Chains A and B, each alone.
Chain A
Amino acid sequence: MNTIPNMNFSRRRFLQTSSAAALVIVGGALINQQEAWGLETKALKPESMQTLIQMARDIFPHDRFADKIYAVAVKGYDDAAVDDEALKGIIEDGISELNQLANNGFDADYINVGWESDRNALLKQVESGPLFQKLRGDLVVSIYNNHDVWAMLGYEGESFSKGGYIERGFNDLEWL
């Protein structure tokens, strides 16, 4: 996975009404043409994976993170769901419930609800449910333990192999 794509973010955001719009489903695969990656699902419906990616972004929204960051964070569920019917049930049932709520309130599936605040209101309704609880708990590790994320947030990671920061700016703050 690459780090920040070298492109104009404000322009990109302007062109993209929601991140999900950049994702299209072709056969059993999710394709993100702008970011040049694809993801084939094995156990979950591709629409479910698309919804998980959107939920992940809505739970931990970082506008400068590409969809790929969120896709990587939830991809493991599809692998695990191959042999884990219970997990598959939690995901598919949770998404059905969310889409039901979205259709009741906005006449659209979750990913097609246009404003984040509206999607947040939907998530609030399922916040205590098993899918949300699992997603939030897993994502707080899987997103923030991603080295590409570290780089974007300005965290340099391991330093022992470079001799620590004794010669590399442990006290370089000058603005005070």
Chain B
Amino acid sequence: MSTLRTEEMTLNMGPQHPSTHGVLRFVIRADGEVMREAVPDVGYLHRSIEKIAEKVGYHGFMPYTDRVDYVCAMFTNQGWAMASERLAGIEVPRRGEYCRVIAAELNRIASHLISVGTMGMDIGAMTPFTHALREREMINDLIEELCGARLTFNYMRIGGVAWDLPPGWREKALAYLDHFDPILDEYNSLISYNKIYVERLANVGVITPEEAISYNLVGPNLRACGIKWDLRKDIPYSVYPDFEFDVPVGEGRWGTLGDSMDRYMVRIMEMKESSRILRQALQNLPSGPVLAKVPRNFKPPKGECQVRIESARGDMGWYVVSDGTGYPWRVHVRTGSFAAMGIVQKLSRGLMIADLVTLIASLDVIAPEIDR
């Protein structure tokens, strides 16, 4: 029997496509529904944030950091603040650190909610998305009360945070957590254990632990491969040593270790851990100032440093070179999405077109974070 002669088709997915989470482009070579390869083409959202940093100074760059990753802007704020503090050797007041952790962990839940919600939407289930966004709206309300913004927060400052928690906010946040914990179970029974959902995600886009490290995957993507590594636990920063929490890792319960389902489940479990951290932080909030004395004309001494923090998309590295003036000489952000996009081309071989969509969603790629 002679084999059927087929022809390869080149497909252009993006930059405007509903499931590319921003402005991403893939050039797909496909044979019918099966992909030979998908080559990512990034850069449509490049706003030269690293160049802007060299022009606006240390304090002035803080609002720009929000735009590096607008889904979890608290972490980019924190990364920049911590890098500047490390350069100048500034100690942040304890209450300031707690405020940072509270804001950041709330933001992590919000970011993971977006991630798991869009995951459902990419597989065609609209309901989980609206349910996830409903919860995220409440977090946005809380954060709005905290810093006046809902998306690009600009909450943190070099040396602490801009404002203390408003009166009554703590109780509201605790009430929200009481509401949120059962919601997560409801969400799981709504979609996570759905047969079709598991079938679509399990055994798709399997990443081995060696590959994950070699491709420098970070955060939930790395933990889904079974590597128990969380910067909050392993290289603790801020006040994270004060809190008790677990680091969820992928188990391969639904398919192979390191598949899309593991990445999804790690995010779900991380929300629970974030909620645990938040409870502890809100209950043990120390008193005192929230902002250290930092000169308005901030000039860190000559030197360079790298700061790594665990953002919602994983280990975010801020490499800052100072030349002793009020403007950083060079800033480089190493982000989780950038690394995750690097592995897409390799994983895409032999997948179906519908699986590429779930693969991108499971890697939780945010376009501005890739392009900066």
Chain A bound to chain B: no
Q: Which residues does A use to contact B, with CB under 8 Å?
A: none
